[in-house]
Amino acid sequence: MKKLLVLFILAAFVSVLYPLYSSFHGSTGLTEVSQFYASKENIEKVNSQNLVTAVVVTYRGLDTLGEVTILFLTAAIIAFFLKKESDKRTLRKNSEIFKTAAKLLIPIITMLGIYIFINGHLTPGGGFQGGAVIASAVILMFLAFPNMEFSHKFFESLESVSGLVYVGLAAFGAILGLGFLDNAILPLGKFGELFSAGAIPVIYSFVGLKVGAELSNILHKFKSVQADN
Amino acid sequence: MISPIHILTIGLGGAFALGFVPKKAKDAAAVLMLAAIALMGVLTGSWLIGLINGESAQQIFTAGFKPPFSINLLMGLNESVLTTAVNFIGLLGGIYLYRNLKEAGNHAVMVFLIFIMGLNVVIMTRDIFNLFVFLEIVSIATAGLVILTESGKSIQAGFKYMLATGIISGVLLLGIIFAYYYSGTLNIDGLTAANIGALKGGSVALLLIMVSIILELKSFPANGWGLDIYEGSNAGIGAMLSAATATAMYFVLSKLLEMAGSEWNYWVALIGAVSFVGSNVLALKQRIAKRLLGYSSIGQIGLLMIILGFKDVLGDNTPYVAFGILFSHYFAKAGLFWLAGIVKQNDIANWAVIRKKPYFLFLMGTFIFALIGFPPFPSFFAKWELVMELVNTGNLPWVVAILFGSMMEAVYLFRWFGYAIKGENENIEDFKIEWNKILPVGIVAIALYVTGYFTSQHTDAGAAINWIPLFFVAAIFILDFLPVFIKNTIAIIGMAFYFYTIYPDLDNLRLVFEAIFMIGGILTLIAGYAYKGTRPGFYPVALLMYAGLTTIIEAQNTLQFFFGWELMTAGSYFLIIRGKRSMPHGLSYMLFSVGGAYALLMGLGMAFAGQGSYDMSIINSISYIPYWAYGLLIVGFLTKTAALGLHIWLPGAHGEAESDVSPMVSAILLKAGVFGIVLTLIGMGGENNAYPWLPYALGWLGAITAFSGNLMAVFQEDAKRLLAYSSIGQLGYIVLGFAMMSHLGWLGGFSYVVNHFLYKAVLFLTIGAVVLRVKTHNMYEMGGLIKRMPLAFTAVMIGIIALSGVPPLSGFAGKWLFYNAILEKGWYLQGAIMFFSGGIAFMYLWRLIHTIFLGQLKDNHRNVKEISIWFLIPIYTLLAGIMVYSVKPQWVLQPLGDIVAQWFPDGQLTWDGGTAFTKYGHWAGTAVAVTIIAAFLVVTALLMISTRKAHKVKQFDITYSGERPERPETTHVAYNVFEGLYQAMWVATIPLVEKWWNKVSDFLHDTAGIVRRIYSGNGQSYVIHIVLFIIVTYFVIIGG
Amino acid sequence: MEYITITTGFLIILAGLWAIMTRKNLIRIIIGFSLFDTGIHIVMVSMAFVKGGVAPILDKKELLTDTAHKIVDPVPQALVLTAIVIGLGVTALMLAYAMRLHQEKKSLDIESFKDLKW
Amino acid sequence: MTIAKLGYTLLGLFIVWNWGFLMGAIFRKIGARVSGRIGIPFYQPWINFFKSVGVRTTITHGVMYYLGPVFRLTGGIGLLFFMPLIYTGDPNGMWTNFSFEGDLILILYFQLFGMLGMAMGAGEGGHPYSAMGIARGLAQHAAVELPLTLAILSIAIQYDTFSMYKIVEAQQGGFQNWVLFTNPFAAGAIILAMLGAMGHSPFNLVKAPNEILIGPATEYEGTYLGFMQSAGSILHVMEAVLFMNLVFGGATSWPELIVKTFLIYFWSVFVGMVFPRYKIEQSITWFFKVPLVLGVLAIIVFSF
């Protein structure tokens, strides 16, 4: 009965969304805003090979700051919200193959993550992606070595430092009079090289570190409150 | 000035830096957070000051590019006000939550800081996607704060909240991306220019954006999740949500409404109205304090949405109105939530405990009156302006909706307040005061008064308000710890001096009423000397009432009048509710008063409409649907004169009030309603007014009121209730008199006004004083008191003779004028009813004097003393007034006649010495009095001659079927003495009116009880509500 | 191409909503929520597509001239990145909530969390 | 002038007082004969009066008790003062007393004066039956007042005045000018209401406690009783005069007054002989039926 009702509601909702769908005809060109971003003059001004990164970190940098804040918030909330219920925990022993493979893979995955965020302004990827990859290494670690000590403190400090650097760089732009989050506070460098695009790689690196640390923290918290029921 | 972008630097930097604070240093973290919020506050505050002083609004660009290519923020006047407000309440809220935050640790402190920062950006941002991001920050932070002090309930509430806001933000995102698709920009100003609403798909995108913001404001009825977090979270967080978040979200709506275009105004207003009315009606059934506040918050936001929807109508006044309501809500709701956290009582009935610390009661009262829109709070002025403008532009259904919703709000808030003032609090555990919690509450309460004062100064009409009486009230409130003797003296001197200073400026009409209010006030205050101790709280509220009364008299414009009216209502409410068993009556008094005030407000709005002025003279020339306007004004005033149908509050309210309060509210306060009716009738144009049906209906109403009031009085066993019903009846005469719209009718009316003041004050004072002595209101428990208190007996005897209208005392003047007027006017049947009522009055008057003073003295009263000298002084002063009026009626009637002749020059009395002539007959007051007194003296002399040495016999020396009765209880015939009359007339005593109002009340409560079941508590159904809300708005606004 | 993705996106939105509105288990509801989010993300990305455009990464020389006519719109892509991260945060928090709720009542049925109502 | 007028007034008072006694005796006699008894001699009231006054008054219950009969008698005398007795064509002429043309409203309200005082006086005696009697009396009085007022208002509308003198004046010149014929509804209402006002059976439950020899009349003895007997006789006549002036054309001479008041009084006694006593609620509802309808009709007829 309830399902029928929900079905009916969804049908009605479809009729709400249908005008959106039916008026969609694909795009034949860029919008005015994207054209601005893609103009030669502005490409040079930002000097980032990856235009998406340019948009994410510079043009819409405030969103990204907010985004980082959201992850930070989530981590903070989970940190004070999830509490250990009991210490009693029985874990199955991992196989040697798994442990060995993990030991081998974890550094490589971490490296990959770091690569992704350092090259965020050149190739697909960036801080969030890189951070997520790093966090996946952490998951692997948790799975392979469930009893390993995890330095909460370190990750939290990393989080805070990265965040402060990000905000500091952003504010620095404003203080210099260039604008909050302007990437031009650092030398723009040569287009297409690692040291280009001004502050973008720096920011993205810290974002990457921060995201990696935050996700790791969250995962650790999830892990640590599990208990036998 | 520092760029507002550094709010982000401070907020985020502070939050990130908190990560370095060691876990142990809990205080350091909390202090750092407060410092950061304070810093943000200083920053926004400096902008506020700068912008007020004429600096121009600043655009903040990010990333070194201009919008629409990068995200920009705006710091304009509105933004600076609101961000400052958010930071201010954030700081106070942080102080309030200090201990909770500290205990929850650094992480919680970070969340709180980011929450406040997020709200700042939400207010300032001009980019719609950025808005989305920071809205998410705010809602995630909220989801975190909900569980600050954990309980099973708060976790559930938080989950439902996340579910609901998740859906809402998804919908918002969908709207945003399509808006981008159609317009190619994310900048709000760019979107405004692009006018995407014109496209079919674009209009849907716009709808999704608007509806999701509206849903974020927890619009009724898709708001079960919102109510849950208000109830489930810590009260300090509730305060933040209600004050800070709602404020910011409201501003977001106003930003986006500009983008959506003016066709959306109507829909926003409509959804707001539904929300306001619906939420307030559902709240009727609510008994959990925090959830109740949640309902109220949602309602208030609905009201604000209405204002927003009418921004084109309100024009330049929009910020004034919106801020007035918003800030009242902001301070009051934060204060109430905080109080809820201090008192720690869920059930509103248990709030009686707050009385154990009286200053908390004062705080609670402040907040509740501010929410409902009483003066001197900003919401009063804002609501006034709103109603005036809406009526002026003919939006009457909206006004009705607003006033109805406000009325419902008043119902539950005053019920709650009533519990706090009068509920049983013996068995409830007292609450503890923590200084960090009381400080913010105190600050917002003071802020309410201060903002109220400044709001009033904003308009010319408001600036004309005389604040001196209110300051006097405030002064006496501060001196409340002093003993009665000193406070009473101060009050009397203050009133006397004030009367002395203003009386030369008043015209004669006003002087009559002012004299009744002030002289009557002073006389009744004298009785206050009889009380011992400090009598806490009495003088501020009594003087508040008198301040209101004098403001009504002095009012130069309608705003002042209404201001005074509401002050008077508030003061009298507190006075009445002081009585021992007066809680339910206090509530009904307040509700009828508020209802009446809203009728007045609408009437005054109609007067304003088309004339564009607030001067009092606009009442004289109402052009916009004048029939309705005058009708509403009259209905409004009739609630105060307790006309039949609107009277059910009076018997209890006057009957249960304290001994010296009853005369204040009965003899004096009721005249305020009469004054209003007089003004209205003058406004209608006197004799040849164009609205004949109104006075005609009023006349019948007066006559029937007189009849029912008197008849009900006959069947009362409680002396003070008897007098209270009698007041209803007497006011019926007065209303009938003025309704006749002729010289004689008005003169009769005025004569009654003066007389009723005199004798009802005498009777209530005397009976009140007797009650103080014998400790019961029930007449059958008294009897024979003439032996113990002859002076009281004499006073009552003169009082009832004057009331009954038996010559030679002053009451006859009114009767005589009345019947002449009736004959002249041709209202014979009404006249006959009046006369019949007079006969009935005779019964209760006899009963009053007989069962109390005559008959058998009870054993437990054998040693009672004469009533207090402090009562006797005012009583005998008033009696002197009655006697002068009786013997020399021309001294009173001639000046009154001159006043009346200003509007009714025809058919005046002609005077020949002490003899008054009408065309039907004549009456020589003095001569009649002399004749009767002479005859009386002669007969007395004869009796005295022939009865020398009659000796007094004992109480039971009566012949009683051959036996001598020995128990006064069985011999004193007092209980239910008019059984015969009851058997004949019981039909007329069926309390139809009370039944009707009970039906109305039951209906509303039942409706609320049924409808609120949609809030099933299941998070899933809340999602369904949200989707349905979107669907319904789509079909209503855009159509199939 | 874009029609396929946008259609898929909308269908996933509806599937997510269906799950949110009909499933009783909290985890399933959260999964539904993720679906709902993902659907929206797909719709967003579809907006970015321009016929014949390549990804807006200018790693080839020819892309640097007349860039505007060769690439797809970078803005929705940037937006979707933000949206995904936000969705991730929300999902993580919801899961944390689900854990706590389970601790409270040892149940994951949404019907058992109705202490607050009316 | 005033002295002379006072003289006439007091003379009128004396005549009325005596006539009241005599009329009372006559009707007691009639009543006795109807029920087959011999009855009292016609001079019995005087004997009663002088005996009462002559007896030494020994007791009092207090000031109000003492003043009760004073109020009562003052009420009677005052009523006489304020009502013109005999129409002489001069509004201030002899036998018009201090009536100031007899303002109807004054008369209607002054009727209550004696009643009120009496009620309070008897009340102080503390006898339970006093209170009962008064309560009943007041209730019945109110019921009587309603049709009576309607009728009086109707007459006032008819002649456009509240002056009793003018009303009487307008009825001069033959019985066809009497209100009885010019305004039959009002007259009907008054004639019926009159029964209640006179307080005879069936509307004498008020005095019912008298029958068992207790209540005010036994509480008061000696001079008090004498005063009350006097007041009773004056009030009876004055009530009749009121109705005579209102409905039956007034009186131009003493004999006319005596005849008319006798007949008016006879009417109420006649009804009283025939009908048994009503309970108080019965009598109230009775006045709300035919008399009220007549009163309303009288108003309606004259208000257009």
As for the ipTM of the complex, it is 0.88
Q: Which chains sit next to B, with 3 or more Cβ pairs under 8 A? A: A, C, D
Non-local (6+) Cβ contacts of A131 within 8 A are: A113, A117, A207, A208, A209, A210, A211, A212, A213, A214, A215
Is residue D213 very low, low, confident or very high in pLDDT (cuts 50, 70, 90)? very low
Within a 10 A sphere around the Cβ of D162, how many other Cβ atoms?
29
A abuts B (3+ Cβ pairs < 8 Å): yes
> Does residue B934 belong to the interface with chain D, where contact is any CB pair within 8 Å?
no
- Final residue in a domain of this structure, among B886, B918, B936: B936
Please count the other Cβ atoms lying within 10 Å of the Cβ belonging to residue A173: 25
The answer to whether the CB atoms of C79 and B177 lie below 8 A apart is: yes
Helix, coil or strand: residue C107: coil
Contacts of B178 in chain C (CB under 8 A): 47
What pLDDT shows up at residue A229?
Answer: 52
Residue from B696, B785, B801, B806 whose CB has the most chain D CBs within 10 Å, to mutate: B806
Q: What's D36-47 look like in SS3?
A: CCCCCCCCHHHH
The pLDDT tens digits for D157-181 are: 899 888 888 899 899 888 888 989 9
Stretch D25-30: mean pLDDT: 88
Q: Coil, strand or helix: which one is B275?
A: helix
pLDDT tens digit sequence for A28-43: 888 888 888 888 888 8
* One-letter amino acid of B788: R
Flag the least confident range among A28-32, B536-540, D45-49. A28-32
Cα–Cα dist D261/D86, whole Å = 12
Could you tell me the CA-to-CA distances from B103 to B24, B75, C97 in Å, in that order?
Answer: 10, 36, 20
Residue ranges covered by each domain of chain D? 2-302
Q: What is the pLDDT of residues D119-160, one digit of tens each?
A: 888 888 888 888 888 888 888 888 888 898 899 989 998 998
* Cβ distance of C116 and B232 shorter than 8 Å: yes
Q: Answer whether C77 sits within 8 Å of A67, measured CB to CB.
A: no
Does the pLDDT of residue D218 top 70, yes or no? no
Q: Assign B612 a pLDDT band (cuts: 50, 70, 90).
A: confident
pLDDT at D208 over 70: no
What average pLDDT does the segment B233-261 reach? 93
Domain boundary at B96, B126, B156, which?
Answer: B126
In C8-67, the residues whose Cβ lies within 8 Å of chain A are 10, 13-14, 17-18, 21-22, 46-51, 55-59, 64-65, 67
Q: Give the one of B787, B812, B940 whose C-beta lies nearest to D70's C-beta.
A: B940
**B632 pLDDT above the threshold of 90:** yes
**Could you read off the pLDDT of B615-631 as tens digits, one per residue?**
999 988 888 888 999 99
Q: How does residue B852 score in pLDDT terms, banded at 50, 70 and 90?
A: very high
Domain assignment present for residue B176? The answer is no
Hey, which residues 816-845 in chain B have their CB within 8 Å of chain D?
A: 816, 819-820, 822-823, 826, 828-829, 831-832, 835-836, 838-840, 842-843
Give the model confidence (pLDDT) of D49-104 as tens digits: 999 888 877 788 888 888 888 998 999 999 998 888 888 888 777 788 877 778 88
Q: Which residue among C2, C50, C93 places its CB closest to the CB of A74? A: C93
Using CB atoms, list chains with 3+ pairs below 8 Å to chain D.
B
Sequence ranges of the domains in chain A:
42-80+96-224
Tell me how far apart the alpha carbons of residues B206 and B1030 are, in angstroms, rounded to a whole number: 12
Say yes or no: B68 contacts chain C, CB-CB below 8 A: no
Neighbouring chains to C with at least 3 Cβ pairs closer than 8 Å: A, B
Put simply, whether B121 touches A (Cβ < 8 Å) is yes
Q: Which residues pair with A27 in a beta bridge?
A: C50
Positive or negative torsion for Cα D242, D247, D248, D250: positive
Task: Report how far residue A50's alpha carbon sits from residue C25's, in angstroms, rounded to the nearest whole number.
Answer: 42
Mean pLDDT of chain B: 91
Which one of D100, D139, D157 has the shortest CB-CB distance to B978? D139
B143-188 confidence digits (pLDDT tens)? 999 988 878 889 999 999 999 999 999 999 999 999 998 888 899 9
Q: Residue B25: pLDDT band by 50, 70, 90 thresholds? A: confident
Rounded to an integer, what distance in angstroms lies between the CA atom of residue D99 and that of residue D113? 16
Q: Does A51 contact chain B (CB < 8 Å)?
A: no
Helix axes B106-124, B246-260, angle to 10 degrees: 30
Please tell me what DSSP assigns to residue A123. S
Spatial contact of B284 and B1011, defined as CB atoms under 8 Å apart: no
Split at pLDDT 50, 70, 90, the class of B199 is confident
Candidate from A61, A73, A80 with C-beta closest to B62: A61
Does position D209 have pLDDT exceeding 60, yes or no? no
Q: pLDDT grade, residue B126 (50/70/90)? A: very high
Other Cβ atoms less than 10 A from the Cβ of A193: the count is 12
Residue B307 pLDDT > 80, yes or no?
yes
Nearest to A121 by CA among A112, A130, A109: A130
Q: What does the alpha-carbon distance between residue C30 and residue C98 come to, in Å, rounded to a whole number?
A: 9
Residue B787, chain A, CB below 8 Å: the answer is no
Beta-carbon contacts below 8 Å between B and C: 117
The residues with which B778 forms a beta bridge, in sequence order, are B718
Angle (CA) B896-B898-B900 rounded to 5° is 70
Among B936, B956, B986, which residue terminates a domain?
Answer: B936
| A77 Cβ under 8 Å from any chain C Cβ | yes
Whether residue B930 lies within 8 A of chain D, CB to CB, comes out as no
Q: Is it the case that residue A85 has pLDDT exceeding 80?
A: no
Which H or E run includes B912? strand B910-912
- Which of B874, B503, B857 is closest to B662 using CA atoms? B874
Going by C-alpha positions, the residue among B756, B700, B686, B687 that lies closest to residue B728 is: B756
Residues of chain D numbered 111-130 and touching chain B (CB < 8 Å): 112-113, 116, 119-120, 123-129
Q: Choose among A60, A74, A160: nearest Cβ to B140.
A: A74
B1029 or A188: whose pLDDT is higher? B1029
Inside any domain, residue B906: yes
Structural domain harbouring B651: 459-936
Report whether pLDDT(B482) > 80: yes
With CA atoms as reference, the chain C residue closest to B230 would be C116
Amino acid at site B114: I
Q: Is there a contact between B465 and B560 (Cβ–Cβ < 8 Å)?
A: yes
Cβ of residue B439 closer than 8 Å to a chain C Cβ: no
Q: Is residue B546 part of a domain?
A: yes
Contact in structure between B565 and B600 (CB atoms under 8 Å): yes
Residue B62, SS3 per DSSP: strand
DSSP letter, residue B923: E
D261-271 tens-digit pLDDT: 999 988 888 88
Which fold does the domain C2-52+70-112 belong to in CATH? Helix Hairpins (1.10.287)
Q: What percent of chain B is predicted at pLDDT more than 70? A: 99
DSSP string, A32-101: HHHHHHHSHHHHHHH--SBHHHIIIIIITHHHHHHHHHHHHHHHHHHHHH----------PPPPHHHHHH
What is the total residue count of chain D?
Answer: 304
Contacts of B790 in chain D (CB under 8 A): 63
Q: What integer pLDDT is reported at residue B959 of this predicted model?
A: 67
Q: Is D212's pLDDT higher than 50?
A: no
What's the mean pLDDT in A184-204? 84
* Nearest alpha-carbon partner for B806 in D141, D109, D74, D111: D109
Q: Are B651 and B728 in contact (CB under 8 A)?
A: yes
- In a domain, residue B365? The reply is no
pTM of the model: 0.93
The shortest C-alpha distance from A96 to chain C (Å) reads: 31
Predicted confidence band of residue A87 (pLDDT cuts 50, 70, 90): low
Task: Tell me if B709 sits within 8 A of B644, measured CB to CB.
Answer: yes
Interface of B with C in 279-298 (CB under 8 A): 285-286, 291
| Rounded distance between C-alpha atoms, residue A218 and residue A132, angstroms | 12
Q: Which residue has the higher pLDDT, B976 or D216?
A: B976
Mean of the pLDDT values across residues B813-824? Answer: 90
Give the closest residue to B799 by CA, choosing from B723, B728, B715, B706: B723
> B665 with B635: CB under 8 angstroms?
no
| Per-residue confidence band for D27, with pLDDT thresholds at 50, 70 and 90 | confident
Average pLDDT of span A123-140: 90
Overall average pLDDT of the B1015-1032 stretch: 93
Whether chain A has a CB inside 8 Å of the CB on B607: the answer is: no
Q: Are A86 and B29 in contact (CB under 8 A)?
A: no
Task: Tell me the per-residue pLDDT of B640-687, one tens digit each, with 9 for 90 and over.
Answer: 999 988 998 998 888 888 888 999 999 999 999 999 999 999 988 877
Cα angle, residue D194 at apex, residues D153 and D43 outer, rounded to 5°: 140
Residues B871, B796: Cα–Cα separation, whole Å = 13
* Of residues B320 and B66, more confidently modeled: B320
The reply to whether residue B13 touches residue A23, judged by beta carbons under 8 angstroms, is: no
Cβ D136–B980 below 8 Å, yes or no? yes
Subunit contact C114:B177, Cβ cutoff 8 A: no
DSSP 8-state symbol, D93: S
Q: Tell me the average pLDDT of chain A.
A: 86
